[in-house]
Amino acid sequence: MMSEKLEQEVETQNVSIIEGIMQKSKYSKNDESYSIAKLGVAEFITEIVKSDNAESKINRFTLDEMIAHIDDLISQQMDEILHNEQFQQLESTWRGLHFLVERTNFQENIKINILDVTKQEALEDFDSNPDITTSTLYKYIYSAEYGQFGGEPIGAIIGDYALNASSPDMNFL
């Protein structure tokens, strides 16, 4: 009876401790990772207080072991993310864009416009228009800017596409 009451009291304290920790963390209740982080904190506290003697001191070795285990799990997750091929391609694209922006002298009245056009979308645009001058990209680049009074010419077009020696890629170029 006494141990049940003590256990219930510890659980109530754990909930308030967990809520306090979560309020001071970088997570808000709207984050999708909030519930996962809260479960982790709850499990961590449960492991710490799991003991027959409620007044026993926290075993520092066990605490260090748990922290090391959590650190290993986080490291494994980061490795999975950082070594993912899609993530590396995305990072490469953003680093290239960052390099371009950093090296641009905007005092020379230079503008950078970014178009989100996939290779497939561009191929479909070119394939559906036998004359390049009727394509959407041509209209955006030439007709809307350079081909009208007051328009601003485009100095460079840079595409971040993977190309090979295939026939569709050669037509794309």
Diameter of the chain by CA atoms? 89
What value does the mean pLDDT take over residues 13-36?
73
Residue 168 has pLDDT above 70, yes or no: yes
State pLDDT tens for residues 61-107: 777 888 888 888 889 999 999 999 999 999 999 999 999 999 998 88
> Which among 171, 141, 169 is positioned nearest to 157, based on CA atoms?
141
Work out the mean pLDDT of the chain and round it to a whole number. 79
Contacts with 133 (C-beta within 8 Å, 6 or more apart), sequence order: 142
What value does the mean pLDDT take over residues 124-144?
83
| pLDDT score for 95 | 94
- As a whole number of angstroms, the distance between CA 159 and CA 157 comes to 7
Better-predicted residue by pLDDT, 14 or 21: 21
Residue 52 has pLDDT above 70, yes or no: no
Q: Which two structure tokens, joined as six digits, stand for 52?
A: 């027959």
Residue ranges per structural domain of the chain: 2-82, 89-172
Residue 55 has pLDDT above 70, yes or no: no
HSE value, Cβ hemisphere, 13 Å, CA-based, for 78: 6
Better-predicted residue by pLDDT, 111 or 103: 103
Contacts with 148 (C-beta within 8 Å, 6 or more apart), sequence order: none
| End-to-end CA gap in the chain | 80
| pLDDT score for 58 | 66
Residue 3 has pLDDT above 70, yes or no: no
State pLDDT tens for residues 147-165: 677 777 777 888 888 888 9
Contacts with 160 (C-beta within 8 Å, 6 or more apart), sequence order: 93, 96
| pLDDT score for 14 | 52
Alpha helices in the chain (DSSP H): 2-24, 34-49, 60-82, 85-102, 119-128, 136-138, 167-172
What value does the mean pLDDT take over residues 43-67?
70
| pLDDT score for 152 | 77
